Amino acid sequence: MKALKTYLFIGTFLCALSAFSQYTEVINSNRPGVSKSAFAVGTNVVQFEVGPYMLNEDHSLRKTEDKSFGADFSVRYGLLWPQLEINLEGAFQSTTRTYTNSITEFEEKYSNFKTLTLGAKYLVYDPYKNAGEDKPNIYSWKANHSFKWKDLIPAVSVYAGANYDTKDNPYTAPGIEGFSPKVMVATQNNFASGWVFVTNFMLDRIGTDQSDFSYILTLTKSISDQWVLFGETQGISSDFYADNLIRFGGAYLWSRNFQLDTALTFNTKDTPSVFGVTLGASYRLDFHKDKKTDNGTSVEDELERQENAKGNNRKKRKKRSKSIDVDFD
């Protein structure tokens, strides 16, 4: 079950941390879903996450039908400290729009980056840092898997980044161009029996005519050492676009450094109605090395200490054997 708990820290979930490092034995991916884990990938880990998708949007008022294909991507790197991660993420999309409000239907095609953001995330509070101090109950399975009130205290990270939007981008509001800031707070709770709850609260394109506020709530459940299911809701609010999206799907851990995933996206309105399918993958290049603790003792001194200890142990055993030796003559 150790691999299972580690896997769940991604985003996905999502993993059991050691006391001094966020590095995990298996890949720690934000996929599936679009929320961001509170935890970093680990120092000197380079991770790639990509998801080709198909998206249909039908707008009942504008009388348009959009059929889109695209891919969202993320490159993550653990830098300097276990709590710090820098990342480049975005989504590129190509859309064919059909206008159905006229006698003769016509189409237009366009493509561009929907998002392109460079940022950094830092873990400011980790309630699991000293989790190793909690010893398991060897007499009760129920005690080890039951709800604990302290599990309600989440890990918390903060994120700051910069968006870049090109001029006349069809996926943004008119006049949006150049750089704009993005900030986020992410929390994560790891509950018993493989449940993980992640929240994201974001302000995007701050100070522009498309200043978005959005939230994401993601609940993940492990069903085996390799399979994970998730459900997610995302709310978006701005003068340019507002929606409530629902996602569900799952992920499969192929190997310790490779994960596959899939998800469905839909909403409950028709301005526009949304239906999307995503297939994704995550892969990491693992250059992480645990830091060795230097206690000031050289190799030669340590070998001498061990030899002296062995000699002392032999003397003690010999002394004890003489003290219980009895002469029967």
Per DSSP, the three-state class of 166 is coil
Asked whether the beta carbons of 139 and 122 are under 8 A apart, the reply is no
Residue bearing tokens 């050691």? 18
Q: Indicate the average pLDDT of the chain.
A: 82
- Phi-psi map region of 262: left, alpha, beta (phi>0 left; psi -120 to 50 alpha): beta
Give percent of the chain above pLDDT 70: 75
Question: 3-state SS of 221-233?
Answer: EECCCCEEEEEEE
- Report CA-CA distances (Å) from 299 to 294, 295, 296, 304, 310: 11, 11, 10, 9, 17
**Nearest-5° angle of CA 314, CA 316, CA 319?**
110
Where do the DSSP E strands lie in 134-242?
A: 155-165, 178-190, 195-204, 212-222, 227-237
Residue type, 76: R
Tens digit of pLDDT for each residue in 217-260?
999 999 998 999 999 999 999 888 889 999 999 999 999 999 99
Sequence-distant (≥ 6) Cβ neighbours of residue 226 within 8 angstroms? 7, 252, 253
Q: How far apart are CA 280 and CA 71, in angstroms?
A: 9
Q: How far, rounded to the nearest angstrom, does the alpha carbon of residue 275 sit from its chain's CA centroid?
A: 24
Phi and psi at residue 242, to the nearest 5°: -140, 140
Tens digit of pLDDT for each residue in 138-192?
555 555 556 676 778 999 999 999 999 999 999 999 989 999 999 999 999 999 8
Tens digit of pLDDT for each residue in 287-308?
878 765 444 444 455 455 556 6
Q: Which two tokens stand for residue 87?
A: 């990342």
